[in-house]
Amino acid sequence: MKLASFLPKPRDLPDVQIPTWIPGSDTINDILDWPENAPRPKVTLGSMAMVGVDEALMVGLGLASRLRFPTPGFRKRCADEMEDALEFFEAKGWLDNPRGYHQTPPEMDKVKFKKETSRGIHYEHMTFDSGYVPHMGESGRNRWLSYTANHTAHCWVLRHSGPQRPWLINIHGYRMGVPYMDLPFFHAKALHENKGLNVLQYVIPLHGPRKIGPTSGDGVLSPGYVNLIHTEAQAMFELRRIIAWLRKEGAPEIGVHGISLGGYTTAMLSGLEGNLACAIAGVPAVNLVRAARRLGSRNLLYFLDNIGMPWDDIERMTRVISPTALKPKVAAKRRYIYAGLLDRLARPEDPLDLWEHWGRPEIEWYHGNHVTFPWEKTVNSFIDKALDESFTGLKPLKSNK
């Protein structure tokens, strides 16, 4: 007899509220209070386990993002920086016109490639000088420039010899940025060999070889959130340089696909860069301050994050890097979103916010959490369909036989 016969049958979520004195009630009530435009998940032992994994991951990521114990001096510095940033952005008019905050990058002049291998995948390690410098007088400028490892941009590249083929830029998630994770998560080898795409895996600032702490991504979501602004501003600067360089090299089409923090970055880029073949936002956490605010509701993280600035002001400050503050420049039929119904990091309201902002494009909901999408058949089929629809010049590779 199969194990499944002993388990309760999947059930639709009831429309009720769990008393707050019951352990785990906040999580359960969040799931029960379901957004109208997202399908309701089924209640199974497997789905509850996936929710539990995401909840543990949220707390783990939250704690790991705090590089130091929050002394009164540290809290004051964070609050002062954010207040200065808010005043600076208001004075420049960038809160009303976020597009004006983002600098137009110059062309890349020197690009280096080095052949490397990761888990049996041969690729080229591409590097170039970032060239990004925060605005004069901008909060956190000197600290950001002190991160010397971050001055060099890194990418993992799989490209075909011969005539130029379409390019897909993949943007990893938080705490990634290393080839042994990035290449498999995006199925880069299959996209390169089976689809015939040239693939460029971009490394977000402060990640991978650009890290400033013991682990990839340290400093991005630390209290203060000024680093988060510089992270995304530099990512926009570098990605636009890469796109301009690819076009100069003769790329016929360029698409972008990002996951989690990379989905956020993809959504941001779609508001600054036009003429992209597609923008695919996977499990996009498009409101990172709201996500951090959820983390802060945990008692320990509340203690760590209690830096004395209202969350509404923090959210307003980060408007200069908000994907939903920019009108998308990518064609409506070339916008795609996929999201997990059991995702506790990029909860359904996040992809739904982007879905509304993008004019309700195609969206694929899968019955999984934040990290199961690489193994979801429906997601892989959705991405495959999006690429086939978007890259008009994509032609199968000739057989070597």
Rounded-to-integer distance, Cα 362 and Cα 338, Å: 8
Successive 10-residue mean pLDDT values, the chain, 401 residues: 41 49 52 74 67 61 52 76 95 97 95 97 98 97 96 98 94 96 96 96 98 91 84 98 97 97 97 96 88 56 53 90 96 96 86 97 92 92 96 69 39
Each domain of the chain, given as residue ranges in start order, spans 72-390
Tokens 């209640």 sit on residue: 43
Tokens of 231: 């992270």
Q: How is 102-121 classified by DSSP, letter by letter?
A: SPPPPPP---EEEEEEETTE
Domain 72-390 fold is: Rossmann fold (3.40.50)
Decide: helix, strand or coil at residue 201.
Answer: strand
No. of helices (H) and no. of strands (E), the chain: 13, 11
Cα–Cα distance for residue pair 379/365, rounded to 1 Å: 8
Q: Which of 279, 303, 282 is nearest to 345 (CA)?
A: 282
Phi then psi for residue 296, to 5 deg, are -70, -10
Does residue 118 contact residue 180 with C-beta atoms inside 8 Å? Answer: yes
Give the Cα-Cα-Cα angle 373, 32, 11 (nearest 5 degrees).
75
Question: Rg of the chain over CA atoms, in angstroms?
Answer: 21
Q: What pLDDT is attached to residue 342?
A: 85
Q: Give the model's pLDDT for residue 17.
A: 52
Q: Which pLDDT belongs to residue 13?
A: 47
- Give phi and psi for 134, each to the nearest 5: -60, 160
